[in-house]
Structure 1
Amino acid sequence: MKNIIAVLALSSFFVFSACKKKDVPVSPTENVENIKNNEFVVDSVIVKDSTKVSDSLKLTFTSKLLVFPGLKDKALLDSIYFQNEKIKDFSKTGLQTYLESEKNSYFNTMKNDNKDWYSDMTYAQEWYSSSYMNLKSNTNGYMHIQYTGSAYIGGAHDEYGFSERVFDLKKNRKLELKDITSMPKNKLEAMLMKNLDKIKSGATDENGDVKNSEMLLVEKIPASDNFYFDEKNLYFHYSPYEIAAFAAGDITIPISWEELKGTLNAEFKERMKIK
């Protein structure tokens, strides 16, 4: 019963579970972003709505999709909207229609499939599903999109997760780790373990900050496909419970270009102007 029905199906990279994070405030109506970079235009559509299904239960649905009017390659668009396989029309109107359909499906499913459970509620609750696509960067033909999803369906806390994807707009495809470095995965995993505490998670206890390494749940940190980069580092992003305890939340681990020296793909190195 407690399956998260309308949260992003963000491939297989996480199992949602963590403390509640506040969503970025959005208008109930469509929010337009008009970002231009060398004629590269990004727009967006947002659907936000709520409904009351009983005296004690309110449902809220929020979802934002980016729109790329200049991108026409279907394989690239399919990859960009990988978590929404039902999308066939990538236009602004098509995406708006899709989100309205997803909203209605979420409301109907939650009302009908959970009636026995919420009918016994003794105090007011708000269950929700939210998902967002956010453009993080578009540099040297590499477009980084972060996908976030969160949901609450009763219990002690909500659940959330992340997916990071980088797209090569010059080749119309998703960038793979092998396009960046030839470093063997076992060596990358050793670097991830070594760098685990370089970026603090923000978790604290009565003694102050708690290191990520103190909450690790795995013996080996996988070099996953959930990565992105900037001019200094390659970053691997792990959702709650993926590698560490609940209190750690999501964890980002950097590996510097210097650490990857000698293994960087020549074309990638040149495009990113890495010395």
Structure 2
Amino acid sequence: MKNTIALLALSSFLAVTACKKDKTTVSVSEKTEAQAPEKLIVDSVKVNDSVKVTDSLKLSFTSKLLVFPTLKDKELLDSIYFQNEKIKDFSKAGLQAYLDNEKNTYFNSVKNDNKDWISDVTYAQNWYSSSHMNLISNTNGYMHIQYTGSGYEGGAHDNYGFSERVFDLKNSKKVELKDITSMPKSKIESILMKNIDKINSGTMDGDGEVKNSEMLLVDKIPASDNFYFDDKNLYFHYSPYEIAAFAAGDITIPVSWEDLKGTLTAEFKERMKIK
């Protein structure tokens, strides 16, 4: 049997085109007015279906994708739906058709890949694939989308994971670490190790809460692209097994603006109102 994480696209799908000034030639007495930025519209499509394979085995498929009807920049949309390279039609109808196809592909692949022994499943099981794309925030022209995925196809436990992406709606692009700070990744990684226990996962044993640092599987915590931020901190989010044992769950490590003092980019500081 195998464990799988269904991290469908849900890749974050959001961003807005920066407002553009009207460049029509006008006389000296006229004023050129900046066009108001187009209002960001957020919709979604969903699929929630199941099928009975045998008397003991049921397959379920659940997925949600966000839809942004006002976004037209293909490069930005490709970045938002980064886990779904097959998506070519970003309309609501196109994304719904994509999810319906993904559901059918999942059902058929599980049946075909396990057809030689699937009838041997004698006790009730529900195998599933679940993925969701959620808009977490949209502040100061930065949009944070969280992509979650989980799945189970037999084994000791299900698996799950997270992907965080922030999009700069002013400049129509995904935010990279270099857009926030000039600090070398090696120094950020030292801070991550120092801050590993600032937000504990809540894992308990007979002696009480277990610290994240006690369950680490790595000697160095990578400064990955799986980050987001608010008005106080930059946060790095790690899925189970990424840096620690499964029992630790997912781990979030904060890096404060004070930790990054002197390295924050001028534009980022201004837009986030960091003093």
TM-score normalized with structure 1 length: 0.88
Deviation at 1:8, TM superposition (A): 2.7
Distance in structure 2 (CA, Å) of the matches to 1:255 and 1:127: 37
Distance in structure 2 (CA, Å) of the matches to 1:9 and 1:135: 14
Deviation at 1:3, TM superposition (A): 6.0
Distance in structure 1 (CA, Å) of the matches to 2:6 and 2:241: 20
Say whether residues 1:182 and 2:182 are aligned partners.
yes
1:25 maps to which residue? none
| Matched letter for residue 184 of structure 2 | P
1:45 maps to which residue? 45
SS in 1 for 2:199: coil
The alignment yields a C-alpha RMSD, in angstroms, of: 1.6
Deviation at 1:4, TM superposition (A): 2.8
Distance in structure 2 (CA, Å) of the matches to 1:169 and 1:237: 22
Deviation at 1:150, TM superposition (A): 0.3
Describe the superposition over 1:51-70 as per-residue Cα deviations: whole angstroms up to 9, x where unpaired: 00111100000000000111
1:60 maps to which residue? 60
SS in 1 for 2:46: strand
Deviation at 1:117, TM superposition (A): 2.6
Deviation at 1:115, TM superposition (A): 1.5
SS in 1 for 2:193: helix
1:233 maps to which residue? 233
Deviation at 1:2, TM superposition (A): 2.4
Q: 1:5 to 1:146 in 2, by over 3 A?
A: closer
Unaligned ranges ≥5, structure 1:
12-36
1:268 maps to which residue? 268
SS in 2 for 1:115: coil
Deviation at 1:7, TM superposition (A): 3.9
Say whether residues 1:222 and 2:222 are aligned partners.
yes
SS in 1 for 2:268: helix
Distance in structure 2 (CA, Å) of the matches to 1:9 and 1:38: 25
1:126 maps to which residue? 126
Distance in structure 2 (CA, Å) of the matches to 1:38 and 1:231: 25
Describe the superposition over 1:240-267 as per-residue Cα deviations: whole angstroms up to 9, x where unpaired: 0111111101000001001111000100
Q: 1:5 to 1:232 in 2, by over 3 A?
A: closer
Distance in structure 2 (CA, Å) of the matches to 1:234 and 1:140: 15
Distance in structure 1 (CA, Å) of the matches to 2:188 and 2:76: 28
Distance in structure 2 (CA, Å) of the matches to 1:86 and 1:5: 18
1:84 maps to which residue? 84
Describe the superposition over 1:156-205 as per-residue Cα deviations: whole angstroms up to 9, x where unpaired: 10000000000111111111000000011111011000000000101000
1:141 maps to which residue? 141
Distance in structure 1 (CA, Å) of the matches to 2:112 and 2:194: 49
Q: 1:191 to 1:266 in 2, by over 3 A?
A: same
1:23 maps to which residue? none
| Matched letter for residue 159 of structure 2 | E
Contact 1:6 1:106 in 2 (8 A): no
1:110 maps to which residue? 110
Stretches of 4+ aligned residues off by more than 4 angstroms? none
Contact 2:201 2:249 in 1 (8 A): yes
Contact 1:5 1:106 in 2 (8 A): no
**Looking at CA atoms only, which structure, 1 or 2, has the larger radius of gyration?**
2
Describe the superposition over 1:141-160 as per-residue Cα deviations: whole angstroms up to 9, x where unpaired: 11100000000000110000
Contact 2:5 2:160 in 1 (8 A): no
1:18 maps to which residue? none
| Matched letter for residue 148 of structure 2 | T
Alignment: residue pair count: 250
Unaligned ranges ≥5, structure 2:
12-36
Distance in structure 2 (CA, Å) of the matches to 1:212 and 1:75: 38
Contact 1:10 1:162 in 2 (8 A): no
Q: 1:209 to 1:194 in 2, by over 3 A?
A: same
SS in 2 for 1:260: coil
SS in 2 for 1:132: strand
Distance in structure 1 (CA, Å) of the matches to 2:117 and 2:68: 41
2:97 maps to which residue? 97
Deviation at 1:9, TM superposition (A): 6.7
2:70 maps to which residue? 70
